[in-house]
Amino acid sequence: MKISPLAPTSFPALPVVAGVRLAVGQSNIRYKGRDDLLLAEFTSGTQAAGVLTRSKVVAAPIIWCQKALRKSKTRALVVNAGNANAFTGKGGMASVARVTSATASLLKCKSEEVLVASTGVIGEPLPDARITALLPTLTRSLHADGWENAARAIMTTDTFLKVATRTARIGGRQVTINGIAKGSGMIAPDMATLLAFVFTDAKIPAGVLRALLREANEASFNSITVDGDTSTNDALLAFATGQAKHTAVKSAGAASLAGFKAALKSVLTDLAIQIVKDGEGAQKFVTIAIKGAKSDKAARKIGLTIANSPLVKTAIAGADANWGRIVAAAGRAGEQVVQDKIEVSVGGTLVARKGARVEGFNEAPVAAHMKGSDIRIALNLHLGKGSAVVYTCDLTHGYIDINGSYRS
Amino acid sequence: MKISPLAPTSFPALPVVAGVRLAVGQSNIRYKGRDDLLLAEFTSGTQAAGVLTRSKVVAAPIIWCQKALRKSKTRALVVNAGNANAFTGKGGMASVARVTSATASLLKCKSEEVLVASTGVIGEPLPDARITALLPTLTRSLHADGWENAARAIMTTDTFLKVATRTARIGGRQVTINGIAKGSGMIAPDMATLLAFVFTDAKIPAGVLRALLREANEASFNSITVDGDTSTNDALLAFATGQAKHTAVKSAGAASLAGFKAALKSVLTDLAIQIVKDGEGAQKFVTIAIKGAKSDKAARKIGLTIANSPLVKTAIAGADANWGRIVAAAGRAGEQVVQDKIEVSVGGTLVARKGARVEGFNEAPVAAHMKGSDIRIALNLHLGKGSAVVYTCDLTHGYIDINGSYRS
């Protein structure tokens, strides 16, 4: 597997988050000779919140988390890569029960205080005995660092690990937010993401954490797409250990949370962009900024329709400034668009307005921009104040190579 | 350009349709050394009806047809390939005015009795002088046959021409329906199609013709997809010359139309399937049959979501029976689905039911089926009586090659 040309040149070292300990191991469920199982243990009193896939076909771990997250208190998270435990029926739920029960017994907590997440092939029974056999070893090797190994253990077709970290102040005290994520294909909005986990030592009640997470999710994971395919296993989970000694936080609207909100959104956007940059087969990163729409929601839908258009994505792969495909996609998004009002820019150069190509259009600077790997497309619809920025990648031969033979 | 491996081995010879004369020529707008302009002339009194793209970004010829079709009487159709005359502003409408005016003057009719259609690159001004310069020659060479040449003149990235013909009886008299179409990429529903034209000698008023066309369109062109990209130029136009000597038809519900309706639907479905078989880069033809949905509409949406999934399409390209991606796509279609009730078959073999893979599943017959070029996927949702059949093709390297360099 070649590393994505859009991969970051370095990864930040993630600091310890008080109240979180990690361990990884090799369950050999699908991959050989690499870590594929992550156990994260949380201190007593840790608050959890999540945003889960809205698909009607959901994996067993999602069904489990839907229920377990109602309790808000969490002591552990178990993630396996290589098998999604999705469309596995009652057998899949029994696998989750055995994994959570084994973890609970090792950590001396309740099963419902253990969250689980899986990623990989859909429809194959999860050989959970390989997980439960490994859990005692993992429990003994829990330690407060090892974030890079944790991020690596949850990868599937990812070509690089995804981590992000920020600090913020709440009531004068510094708190840390660490995030890890995986995802490369089957990436589309209307979801949480594939798998993303956020860890903080901030002391934030589950209900408030949930509100902050949902808000930050809209502009980050719900604004990216690789292939328009939503996963059965999409899950964004946040854990707040409460070890930071700041003043109590009562509501999501509290003034003391302003810095934390910004840092959380920054971590999620950072991870979301990393996922796009590791989009299967991606050679170019694409930012699509829509403004002047009737609403933010309309702007995002138009941006995502452009971002999901195979014709736009293949033109970008071929460095072809085929802006006609961009306006064609905008026109079929199902949102209000008046073609004579649309302004289209590519790489900062205005290419079309008043329903036609700009007069005396010089394609040279646009063609030069398209040869780069950081493509910027901007539309002003001149209809209202709605705006959105969405992120995607190009569609290349690599995507077809990866997905034509994923299971074999 | 290699011919699609799914191309038919022979084309039917299309008979004369009384009241229709055709001529083709080389305008050299984009292509060199091939016909790219079609003129069809209709006898006085010919009734026309159309189904046009529902995109908000529409080509100048679509705007023209929207208005001209209100008149119902039509004397001519002019189609050019290589330039879509879309997103060309006032200049594009002026081009249409010049082309229709020149045609009307040659055929001694009104401009609004001339319909136009264009297909090709979006956003480039149409050099209409090359069309009007050729029209006098075309008018002189009009003749009652030449259907194959007509079908060939409207092709863009098509690798084979698309024609279909059927006969039917109305009130004891035989009538003929000929159809021609083009399309290979930017093919998606919520539209009429790319370009499809149907010609009949039946005597059917425009209002009735429109109703028949809309109905037949749902199960044909609105049930296919190549890449989910709707075109700015999609147009399905039907022309009834009224030269057949059958009894008058008053309404779309007339019993005498039963045979004609079936033949019309058969012509459109035949053409629609040909378009999918010429899908850009297509190596495999895919039929997705959904039954047991809450409604026919829900069934079609679920079928099209599966058909548009890049993950499903690339798995098919790779002959991988990755049915997990099929249920994942069904789950995100936005329609009611209960995962424990879904039954999935591939190539006639039941692969999943009761929310999981069938017990003792033997993948061998499914794997063998996936190696073929005629892939059949069937889902029974067990929720209601809604059903739909949709058609698509696989997503291969060829699609990326064609669309990464279309304009250059």
pLDDT, tens digit, 9 for 90 and up, residues A281-311: 889 999 999 999 999 999 999 999 999 888 8
CA–CA min distance A156, chain B (Å): 15
For position A127, what pLDDT does the model report?
97
Q: What would the mean pLDDT of B249-254 be, rounded to a whole number?
A: 91
**Strand, coil or helix: what is A10?**
coil
Mean pLDDT over residues A63-71, rounded? 91
Backbone angles phi, psi at B187, to 5 degrees: -115, 115
Q: What is the model's pLDDT at position A191?
A: 44
**Distance between CA B323 and CA B331 in Å, rounded?**
13
Verify whether the Cβ–Cβ distance A318 to B405 is below 8 Å: yes
Chain A within 8 Å of B374 (Cβ-Cβ)?
no
Which position has the token pair 């297909």? B119
Using DSSP's 3-state secondary structure scheme, residue B165 falls into: strand
A contact residues 248-307, partner B, Cβ 8 Å cutoff:
none
Examine the pLDDT at A72 and tell me if it is beyond 80: no
Q: Provide the residue type at B364 as one letter.
A: A
The whole-number average pLDDT for the span A68-72 is: 86
Binning pLDDT at 50, 70 and 90, where does residue A202 land? very high
Q: What is the pLDDT of residue A110?
A: 96
Lowest mean pLDDT among A189-193, B73-77, B300-304: A189-193
Q: What local confidence, expressed as pLDDT, does residue A65 receive?
A: 92
Q: Residue A181's closest CA among A233, A232, A137, A142? A: A233
CB B28 within 8 A of CB B189: no
pLDDT of residue A279: 82
Q: What was the pLDDT predicted at A253? A: 92
pLDDT of B328 higher than 60: yes
- What length is written for chain B? 408
Q: Nearest by CB to B320, from A188, A336, A407: name it.
A: A407
Ranges A173-187, A313-327, B17-31, most confident = B17-31
Instruction: Name the residue among A186, A322, A331 with its Cβ closest to that of B55.
Output: A331
Chain B residues in contact with A306 (beta carbon < 8 A)? none
Answer yes or no: is pLDDT of A189 > 60. Answer: no
Whether residue B407 is predicted with pLDDT greater than 80 in this model: the reply is no
Distance CA A224, CA A187 (A): 7
pLDDT (tens digit per residue) in A210-266: 999 889 888 888 888 777 777 777 788 888 999 998 998 989 999 999 999 999 998
**Min Cα separation A373/chain B (Å):** 15
Element (H, E) at A160: none
Gap between the Cα atoms of B200 and B220, Å rounded: 18
Active site residue B193: yes
Band the pLDDT of A112: cuts 50, 70, 90: very high
Mean pLDDT on B87-103: 95
A185 touches B at CB < 8 Å: yes
Cα distance between residue B102 and residue B133, in whole Å: 9
Q: A with B: how many residue pairs have Cβ under 8 Å apart? A: 242
CB contact under 8 A, A57 and B232: no
The per-residue pLDDT for A184 is 74
Q: Looking at residue A193, what is its pLDDT?
A: 47
With a cut of 60, say whether residue B253 has pLDDT above it.
Answer: yes
The answer to whether residue A371 neighbours chain B at the CB level (below 8 Å) is no
Average pLDDT estimate for B215-223: 85
Spatial CA neighbour of A53 closest among A215, A197, A189: A189
Confidence band of A192 (pLDDT split at 50, 70, 90): very low
Which pLDDT band holds residue A190 (cuts at 50, 70, 90)? Answer: very low
Please tell me the distance in Å from B271's CA to the nearest CA on chain A: 23
Q: How far is B348 from chain A (nearest CA, A)?
A: 18
Higher pLDDT, B338 or B72: B338
Per-residue confidence band for B212, with pLDDT thresholds at 50, 70 and 90: very high
Q: Which of residues 299-318 of B touch A (CB under 8 A)?
A: 308-311, 314-315, 317-318
Of the candidates A193, A230, A305, A396, the residue annotated as catalytic is: A193
Q: Do B328 and A231 touch (CB under 8 A)?
A: yes
pLDDT of A154: 92
Tell whether the model's pLDDT for residue B299 goes beyond 80.
Answer: yes
- With 80 as the cut, is the pLDDT of residue B81 above it? yes
Chain A nearest-CA residue for B340: A89
Q: How many helices (H) and strands (E) does chain A have?
A: 11, 15
Find residue A247's DSSP bridge partners: none
B121 touches chain A (CB under 8 A): yes
With cut-offs at 50, 70 and 90, classify the pLDDT of residue B190: very low
pLDDT value of position B406: 60
For B389, the token pair is 């059949």
Within the 144-173 window of chain A, which residues sit less than 8 Å (CB to CB) from chain B?
A: none
Confidence of residue B158 (pLDDT cuts 50, 70, 90): confident
Q: Considering chain B, what is the average pLDDT of its residues?
A: 89
A359 vs B: CB within 8 A: no
Taking CA–CA distances from A357, the nearest residue in chain B reads B123
H or E stretch including B138? helix B129-140
Which B residues 51-90 touch A at CB under 8 Å?
A: 54-58, 84, 86-90
pLDDT, residue B188, reads 60
Kindly determine whether residue A56 and residue B338, on different chains, have CB atoms separated by under 8 Å: yes
Q: At residue B192, does pLDDT exceed 50?
A: no
CA distance A83 to A350: 46
Q: How far is Cα B75 from Cα A296, in angstroms, rounded to an integer?
A: 47
A90 contacts on B by Cβ (under 8 Å): 355-356
Q: Do B229 and A318 count as a contact with CB atoms less than 8 A apart?
A: no
Percentage above 90 pLDDT, chain B: 55
pTM of the model: 0.81
- Whether B408 has a pLDDT exceeding 70, the answer reads no
Q: Which amino acid is at A329?
A: A
Q: Which of B230, B232, B312, B400 to mutate to test the interface with A (most CBs of A within 10 A)?
A: B400
